[in-house]
Amino acid sequence: DVKVTQSSRYLVKRTGEKVFLECVQDMDHENMFWYRQDPGLGLRLIYFSYDVKMKEKGDIPEGYSVSREKKERFSLILESASTNQTSMYLCASSLVAVYTEAFFGQGTRLTVV
Protein backbone atom coordinates (compact mmCIF):
# COMPACT_ATOMS: atom_id res chain seq x y z
CA ASP A 1 0.00 0.00 0.00
CA VAL A 2 1.13 3.50 -0.86
CA LYS A 3 2.51 5.43 2.08
CA VAL A 4 3.64 8.98 2.74
CA THR A 5 4.53 9.53 6.38
CA GLN A 6 5.07 12.86 8.10
CA SER A 7 7.11 12.69 11.28
CA SER A 8 4.69 14.57 13.54
CA ARG A 9 0.93 15.18 13.61
CA TYR A 10 1.23 18.15 15.96
CA LEU A 11 4.14 20.44 16.80
CA VAL A 12 4.43 23.49 19.04
CA LYS A 13 7.56 25.62 18.62
CA ARG A 14 8.76 28.98 19.88
CA THR A 15 9.38 32.03 17.73
CA GLY A 16 12.94 32.03 16.41
CA GLU A 17 13.47 28.29 16.69
CA LYS A 18 14.78 26.26 13.76
CA VAL A 19 12.12 23.70 12.85
CA PHE A 20 12.45 20.53 10.82
CA LEU A 21 9.45 18.81 9.26
CA GLU A 22 10.21 15.37 7.87
CA CYS A 23 8.43 13.44 5.16
CA VAL A 24 9.19 9.88 4.05
CA GLN A 25 7.65 7.91 1.19
CA ASP A 26 8.04 4.22 0.48
CA MET A 27 6.99 4.20 -3.18
CA ASP A 28 10.30 5.09 -4.87
CA HIS A 29 8.73 8.31 -6.15
CA GLU A 30 10.93 10.92 -7.79
CA ASN A 31 8.72 13.95 -7.14
CA MET A 32 8.02 15.29 -3.67
CA PHE A 33 6.15 18.42 -2.60
CA TRP A 34 5.60 20.56 0.48
CA TYR A 35 2.38 22.56 0.81
CA ARG A 36 0.88 24.67 3.54
CA GLN A 37 -2.86 24.94 4.02
CA ASP A 38 -4.59 27.90 5.61
CA PRO A 39 -8.29 28.73 5.96
CA GLY A 40 -9.49 30.81 3.03
CA LEU A 41 -6.19 30.44 1.17
CA GLY A 42 -6.27 26.74 0.31
CA LEU A 43 -3.12 24.72 -0.41
CA ARG A 44 -0.09 26.69 -1.49
CA LEU A 45 3.11 25.13 -2.81
CA ILE A 46 6.21 25.94 -0.78
CA TYR A 47 8.86 23.78 -2.47
CA PHE A 48 9.03 20.97 -4.95
CA SER A 49 11.77 18.38 -5.59
CA TYR A 50 12.14 16.67 -8.98
CA ASP A 51 14.60 14.12 -7.67
CA VAL A 52 17.40 13.65 -5.16
CA LYS A 53 19.25 16.92 -4.52
CA MET A 54 16.94 18.72 -6.98
CA LYS A 55 14.59 21.42 -5.75
CA GLU A 56 12.48 24.22 -7.09
CA LYS A 57 10.76 27.08 -5.31
CA GLY A 58 7.01 27.04 -5.22
CA ASP A 59 4.68 29.98 -4.77
CA ILE A 60 5.59 30.89 -1.17
CA PRO A 61 9.21 29.81 -0.43
CA GLU A 62 10.15 32.79 1.76
CA GLY A 63 11.22 31.74 5.24
CA TYR A 64 11.60 28.08 4.24
CA SER A 65 14.28 25.81 2.84
CA VAL A 66 14.30 22.12 1.93
CA SER A 67 16.65 19.16 1.84
CA ARG A 68 16.47 16.01 -0.29
CA GLU A 69 19.58 13.92 0.31
CA LYS A 70 17.83 10.59 -0.21
CA LYS A 71 15.06 9.72 -2.61
CA GLU A 72 12.60 8.68 0.07
CA ARG A 73 12.99 11.69 2.38
CA PHE A 74 12.10 15.34 1.86
CA SER A 75 12.62 17.76 4.73
CA LEU A 76 11.12 21.22 5.16
CA ILE A 77 13.14 23.62 7.29
CA LEU A 78 11.87 26.77 8.95
CA GLU A 79 15.12 28.67 9.54
CA SER A 80 13.67 30.96 12.21
CA ALA A 81 10.05 30.15 13.00
CA SER A 82 7.57 33.01 13.13
CA THR A 83 3.95 33.13 14.23
CA ASN A 84 2.77 33.62 10.64
CA GLN A 85 4.14 30.17 9.86
CA THR A 86 1.51 28.59 12.10
CA SER A 87 -0.30 26.34 9.66
CA MET A 88 -1.10 22.82 8.48
CA TYR A 89 1.82 21.44 6.46
CA LEU A 90 1.21 18.70 3.91
CA CYS A 91 3.77 16.57 2.10
CA ALA A 92 3.03 14.72 -1.15
CA SER A 93 4.87 12.49 -3.61
CA SER A 94 4.38 11.15 -7.12
CA LEU A 95 6.24 9.32 -9.84
CA VAL A 96 8.05 11.48 -12.36
CA ALA A 97 5.68 10.18 -15.02
CA VAL A 98 3.07 12.87 -15.06
CA TYR A 99 0.24 10.47 -15.75
CA THR A 100 0.21 9.27 -12.17
CA GLU A 101 -1.47 10.24 -8.94
CA ALA A 102 -0.04 12.34 -6.15
CA PHE A 103 -0.26 10.85 -2.65
CA PHE A 104 -0.37 12.89 0.54
CA GLY A 105 0.76 12.39 4.10
CA GLN A 106 -1.48 12.92 7.11
CA GLY A 107 -0.34 16.49 7.69
CA THR A 108 1.55 18.29 10.47
CA ARG A 109 -0.26 20.98 12.41
CA LEU A 110 2.48 23.44 13.43
CA THR A 111 1.83 26.13 16.02
CA VAL A 112 4.48 28.80 16.56
CA VAL A 113 4.10 30.69 19.84
Partner 1 sequence: KQEVTQIPAALSVPEGENLVLNCSFTDSAIYNLQWFRQDPGKGLTSLLLIQSSQREQTSGRLNASLDKSSGRSTLYIAASQPGDSATYLCAVRQSSNYKLTFGKGTLLTVNP
Residues near partner 1, by CB under 8 A: 4, 6, 31, 33, 35, 40-43, 45, 48, 50, 56, 58, 88, 90, 92, 94, 96, 98-107, 109
Hey, what's the torsion of the CAs at 15, 40, 105, 55, to 10 degrees? -70
Nearest residue to 69 (alpha-carbon basis) of 52, 87, 85: 52
CB of 35 or CB of 85, closer to partner 1: 35
Nearest residue to 92 (alpha-carbon basis) of 80, 101, 81: 101
CB of 66 to partner 1, least distance (A): 15
CB of 104 to partner 1, least distance (A): 4
Query: Phi first, then psi: what are they for 103, rounded to 5°?
Result: -120, 140
CB of 75 or CB of 94, closer to partner 1: 94
